[in-house]
Amino acid sequence: MTKIKRFPSLFRPQGGVDQSVLEQNKGLVDQISRRGLFRGTMSLGALTMLTGCEWGSDGSVEQGLLAVSRWNDIVQGAIFRPDHLAPTFSAAEVLKPPRFNAHYEIEDVKPVDGRTWKLEVSGLVNDKHSWSLAEMMSLPQQEMIIRHICVEGWDYVGQWSGVNLRQFLERVGADLRARYIAFRCADGYTEALDMPTALHPQTILATKYAGEPLPDPFGFPLRLRTSTKLGFKNPKWLTAMEITNTRPGTFFGDQGFNWFSGI
């Protein structure tokens, strides 16, 4: 995934919509068209009705797209089925190694030292001690073979093993009535889950891929892996999680992408 830039100016000086306006807002449009309820039906006219503004007014296209994106977040959260399992696949279909995705190139990955690595746990939780890699590996492991779907349109089948997130939250005494879990990564990336997704049976803290410890470029020693979110909602190189009732900002969410980003 390439680095996302802030939205550029959307209008001609005279006030008409530029012909490339949707192209300029491609990331947000893709989010709406791929995962929104308006697939194949959204138009500039419909956005005008939703936002109550004319497309010639300054900033109205960006505001309209963001409004639809926020609406999609609400609807996706409302229709989410917490016990509905995503399809699983055979080991013969697993891509080895997995495909790399980040907001920078694979050559820029800075390996994490597993000997000193810790996972910090904070927020609405009883046990706030930091977890070592040995402690994480000693916990019961769950394996699943699921499809990874990137917002850019590509996908692959991956085989992931790790600690079931719900079981981990129960072990540390997290408040499961809280609304969100925020994640921080060794490379500075930030992401978050709504609690129903965190408690989904196919959401794990992955330590292995295809039966082997996660390689450096793919999140060693720990990454989030959920079957119900787009790829960028599965952060790598986890170093901290916080259980909270305040909706966290996220790397891509703060740039206009759907926060919920369910599939």
Domain segments of the chain: what residues?
21-79, 91-255
CA 249 and chain centroid, separation: 12
Under the banding of pLDDT at 50, 70 and 90, the label for residue 97 is: very high
Name the more confident of 19 and 186: 186
Query: What is d(CA 240, CA 237) in angstroms, rounded to the nearest whole number?
Result: 10
Global pTM reads: 0.75
Mean pLDDT computed over 108-124: 97
91-255 carries CATH number 3.90.420.10 = yes
Q: What is the pLDDT of residue 23?
A: 57
Residue 3 has a pLDDT of 44
Rounded Cα–Cα distance for residues 188 and 245 (Å): 22
* Per-residue pLDDT at 39: 40
What pLDDT was estimated at residue 40? 40
pLDDT tens for each residue of 208-217:
999 999 999 9
The predicted structure's pLDDT at residue 244: 98
As a whole number of Å, the end-to-end CA separation of the chain is 18
